[in-house]
Amino acid sequence: MPKRTTIRDIQAKANDGQKLSMVTAYDAFSAKLIEQAGIDIALVGDSVGTTLQGRPDTLGVEIEHMLYHTEIVARSTERILVIGDMPFGSYQVNEDEAVRNAVAFMKAGAHAVKLEGGASVMPLIERMSDAGIPVMGHLGFTPQSVNITSGPRVNKARDELMEDAESLADAGVFAIVLEMVPAKIAQEITSAIGVPTIGIGAGAHTNGQVLVFHDMLGFDPDFNPKFLKRFMDFHGQALDALKKYKEEVENGQFPNESQSY
């Protein structure tokens, strides 16, 4: 059985100057595919709310949904590190409930959890770490606070972001996602703190990059943030294939004899 990537492997790779790759996965198909591609980390992101559930944002995603997807991704993979993203409401109410929910992620097969926020989530990270749960931080644009920021933007200045990153590192996170943080600030944070940074729209000088599976493969032609690079046009290719199938069904070309019993 192949060895599962550990937190230590992730940190060693970053310390060695190698870049880390993280992609979201919510189902067996995406999980197996990203593992086969050699991606380091599978993030079972609460972006499942917008990519699969048809929601306008991530706020409606429930812990039960996340545990369901985490279990599937963990079950479908052997090597990749699986991180469960704690959804809105699962760690904001009180510390006991937050730790209980983080434990539920680990029981579902996650190897770590991710939560959004700066200095204010330090006590949570300390309690989770004490309980044996590795935590990934998330700073910059934090989609669960979209109603505070009035859209996808970062509402903190350089010094506050730096202090938040230092607080998260002191509290014991093993890595930090930097979302839409200006490239220069992301670079400064990356050099200043002792834990790997993983950027999304945060420039090239973080220790790694993360993209949402459906965004990077071009599932949604209408989602066009500046930071996104589409590595394939899934929407276009799938649409062509579906149209061809319909045409062949209608003109009798499909199925042919070799496709029949």
Catalytic residue list: 179
3-class secondary structure, 42: strand
Are 44 and 83 a contacting pair, CB within 8 Å?
yes
Closer residue to ligand KIV, CB minimum distance, 37 or 261: 37
What tokens appear for 76 in the block?
């479908």
Q: Which stretch binds ligand KIV (CB under 6 A): 43-51, 75-83, 145-153, 242-250?
A: 43-51
Minimum separation from the CB atom of position 148 to ligand KIV (A): 17
Minimum separation from the CB atom of position 188 to ligand KIV (A): 20
Minimum separation from the CB atom of position 255 to ligand KIV (A): 39
Closer residue to ligand KIV, CB minimum distance, 88 or 171: 88
Polymer length in residues for the chain: 261
How far is 192 from 162, CA to CA, in rounded Å?
A: 8
**By CB under 6 A, residue 136 contacts ligand KIV:** no
**By CB under 6 A, residue 113 contacts ligand KIV:** no
**By CB under 6 A, residue 45 contacts ligand KIV:** yes
What is each CA distance from 14 to 22, 32, 195, 224, 237, in whole angstroms?
A: 13, 24, 9, 29, 36
Minimum separation from the CB atom of position 10 to ligand KIV (A): 15
Minimum separation from the CB atom of position 111 to ligand KIV (A): 16
Closer residue to ligand KIV, CB minimum distance, 45 or 117: 45
Closer residue to ligand KIV, CB minimum distance, 40 or 85: 85
**By CB under 6 A, residue 46 contacts ligand KIV:** yes
CA 128 to chain centre: 19
Over the window 162 to 191, marking each residue x when it contacts ligand KIV by CB under 6 A and - when it does not, the resulting string is ---------------x--------------
Minimum separation from the CB atom of position 254 to ligand KIV (A): 37
Bond before 134 cis per omega within 30 degrees: no
Q: Out of 122, 200, 202, 216, which residue is the one contacting ligand KIV (CB under 6 A)? A: 200
Query: In sequence order, which ranges of the chain are alpha helices (DSSP H)?
Result: 7-15, 28-36, 48-51, 63-75, 95-107, 122-130, 146-149, 158-171, 183-192, 213-216, 234-251
3-state secondary structure 68-137: HHHHHHHHCCCCCEEEEECCCCCCCCCHHHHHHHHHHHHHCCCCEEECCECHHHHHHHHHHHHCCCCEEE
**By CB under 6 A, residue 85 contacts ligand KIV:** yes
Which residues sit opposite 20 in a β-bridge?
208
Residues that bind ligand KIV (CB under 6 A): 24, 43, 45-47, 85, 177, 200, 210, 212
